Structure 1
């Protein structure tokens, strides 16, 4: 059994002036048969980075959107679980920030080659579209979380969302799940 690698990610729930969420369609490779799913912008936390720094860097690289890390506010949700890729096992903690934006034009020129090869397109989604999504939307429980956040209810503690890769295969859609507060995650420095 291979040793599990710990991986933290910092992701951002970017919402426009009409309460739509920006998602990208990406090729999910962590399963036996790769398929497309919808994700929030963000990615791995590099050594020495805080979650805020990583999220700001990822927005610049993936979208060409430049913000100060301090503009992100608190982590509003987390999701954690295990997955494998190319024979390696990972344990991940995904941390989500909430940020309202205006006039964001996606510029993918800062993406690396792997991101370009696995990213299909970006789209703005309304909450009803999240609920009726035919493809997997990550994180699971996103519609209920967005309802809470769009009403201006930032949680005192991050909400714990279920992991998006069920053990029986990639069948979960963007349907609602119960939201549970959790203890704040501390990124190891």
Structure 2
């Protein structure tokens, strides 16, 4: 793969933590590998004119129905660059992770985009201990450590 073939993206993500100290994750897959499931935080790529905080807030609303103000996001608390393949394309994506707290929230996925409806099949609130003990694939892999540091 050459650098010309890689899609470079910027993304805002949210560590949404409830009153029990659990973080919300979605389970999804690459549409070309539907059996290979993985868990990840709400969030996604920037739209035109957005910064990381704005993208994180918009994506959080689209994926969960939760509306927060910019002041309700702490951080960014973590930043990474991830390289991955999705739907036959190679991506290099810089992620900025923000922390948001809610006492509780009933996730509403009505705002999912069509690709999300076909590739994201479950959501769940995870404790840091559950993240450390699971054999399931979690992104970012060091999520339990990040949560312990920011909580």
Q: Same fold (TM over 0.5)?
A: yes
Aligned residue number for residue 42 of structure 1: 43
Q: Which has the higher strand share?
A: 2
SS of the counterpart of 1:124? strand
For residues 132 and 94 of structure 1, what CA distance do their matches in structure 2 show? 24
SS of the counterpart of 1:108? coil
Residue 11 of structure 1: how far off its partner (Å): 0.6
Aligned residue number for residue 58 of structure 1: 59
Contact 1:8 1:92 in 2 (8 A): yes
For residues 44 and 63 of structure 1, what CA distance do their matches in structure 2 show? 16
**1:85-135 deviation per Cα after TM superposition (whole angstroms, max 9, x unaligned):** 455332211111011112311001111111111111111111110001111
With a CA cutoff of 8 Å and minimum separation of 6, indicate the structure with the bigger relative contact order.
2
Contact 2:13 2:42 in 1 (8 A): yes
**1:98 correspondence with 2:102:** no
Residue 74 of structure 1: how far off its partner (Å): 1.7
SS of the counterpart of 2:110? helix
Root mean square deviation of aligned Cα: 1.8
**1:121-152 deviation per Cα after TM superposition (whole angstroms, max 9, x unaligned):** 111111110001111001011111111111xx
Runs of 4+ in 1 over 6 A off after TM superposition: none
Contact 1:21 1:124 in 2 (8 A): yes
Residue segments in structure 2 that go unaligned for 5+ positions in a row: none
Name which one, 1 or 2, has greater alpha-carbon Rg: 1
For residues 89 and 106 of structure 2, what CA distance do their matches in structure 1 show? 36
**1:69 correspondence with 2:73:** no
Residue segments in structure 1 that go unaligned for 5+ positions in a row: 151-189
Aligned residue number for residue 17 of structure 2: 15
For residues 124 and 103 of structure 1, what CA distance do their matches in structure 2 show? 10
Q: TM-score when scaled to structure 1?
A: 0.73
Q: Which has the higher helix share?
A: 2
